[in-house]
Amino acid sequence: MSRPRPEATLITPQVLRGWRLPEPTGGKESRGSILVVGASTETLGAVLLAAEAALRSGAGKLQVAVPSKVAPHVSISLPEALVRGLPSTEAGAIRASSAELVLDLAQRASAVLIGPGMADEPETRGLVEQLLPELEGPVALDALGLAAVTADPSCLHRLAGRAVLTPNPTELAIALHGEPDEIDADPAGAALRLAEQARAVVGLGGATSWIAHPDGRLWQDESGGAGLGVSGSGDVRAGIVAGLLARGAEPAQAAVWAAHLHGRAGERLAAQVGRLGFLARELPPEIPRVLAEVDL
C-alpha cells in the first residue's frame, strides 16, 4: 500500500527567511569551491551559464573541467575560473577515461556539478560511474549527467542523501523510464518517485518547480513565468544549486532556494525586458539582487 502524498510547502520569501543560507565567515575559502564538469564543442555555453550562476549564488572559488578543445575559450570567458582541459572524442565530448583528471579537482572541491552541455551518453555515463564512488562531498547532476542514474538509481545510495538531481520534465521521464505524458500528469509524484529510488533530492524545473526529498517532503515554487522556458535556463538553475551547495547549504535547502532564486530572477527580467525574449545569460546577474531581496 503506497503512502499518502505529503502536502507540498509553497516556497515564499518567508519560508526562505526561516531557512537561512550559511553565512560566509571570511574570504573566498569560507564560501566554498565549486567544480563544474561539462560541455562539448557544440554546447560550451551551458557550462559558462552554470559556472557564472554558481559564483553569483555565493560560491567563492570556481573550477571548470571541459573538453580540451574548448578550454582556451572557457579561460577567456571565465577569467575567475581555474580551467582544466580533458581528453575528448572526435565529436568533441568528454571521454569517460578523463575521470582520473577530474578526480583530483573534485576531491578538493566543496561541491561538484556534472552534466551541463555534456554530449555522448555512453561516455558521460562512464565518467559519472567512475567519479561517484570516489566523491564524498555534495554532488549535483544535471542534463546528461543523469545518465548513470537512469541506468542504475542505486549508484547514488552511497552518498547518503548528499546528491541533488536537476532534471527538466523530459529528463525526468527518461530517468524513470516513462513517458513525458506521465510526468505532465503528476510531476510532483514523479519527482518523489525518483527521489525515493535514487535517495537524492530532486529539483524538477517547469512552469511549477517541484523539489522532492527522499524522506517524502515536497516543496513547490510558482515563481518564474513563460520567459524562463528558454535555452540555457536550466543550466543556470543547476549552477545556482551547485553554488549554494558549495557555500554549505544542505541539499534540499540548495534545491529549494535555487528554485525561488531562478524564478524570481526571471520575474525581474520579465519586468525589465518583457514577459518573453530575455536570455538565460541575463539571469545570473539578477541572482545577487534576489538574494538581497530575500535577506530584507
Q: How far apart are CA 235 and CA 51, in angstroms?
A: 9
- Residue 165: partners with Cβ closer than 8 Å, 6 or more residues away: 140, 141, 142, 146, 149, 175, 194, 195, 198, 200, 201, 202, 203
φ and ψ of 166, to 5 deg: -125, 65
Rounded to whole angstroms, the Cα distance separating 211 from 249 reads 15
Q: Cα(270)–Cα(233) distance, rounded to whole angstroms?
A: 14
Question: Is the model's pTM score more than 0.85?
Answer: yes
- pLDDT at site 203: 98
Mean pLDDT taken over the chain: 95
Task: Look at the block and give the residue holding cell 565529436.
Answer: 91
Please choose, from the candidates 203, 190, 183, 91, the residue with its C-alpha nearest in 3D space to the C-alpha of residue 141.
203
pLDDT in tens, 98-141: 999 999 999 999 999 999 999 999 999 999 999 999 999 999 99
In sequence order, what DSSP letters do the residues of 131-144 get, joined into one string? HGGG--S-EEE-GG
For range 166-174, the mean pLDDT: 97
Take residue 126 and report the three cell numbers written for it. Answer: 562512464
Q: Which domains does the chain have, with CATH numbers?
A: 28-294 (3.40.1190.20)
Amino acid identity for residue 123 in this structure = E
Mean pLDDT of 44-68: 97
Query: Based on the number of CB atoms within 10 Å of its own CB, is 296 exposed (0-12), middle (13-18) or buried (19 or more)?
Result: exposed
> What pLDDT band is residue 258 in, cutting at 50, 70 and 90?
very high
- Segment 61-95, tens digit of pLDDT: 999 999 999 999 999 999 999 999 999 999 999 99
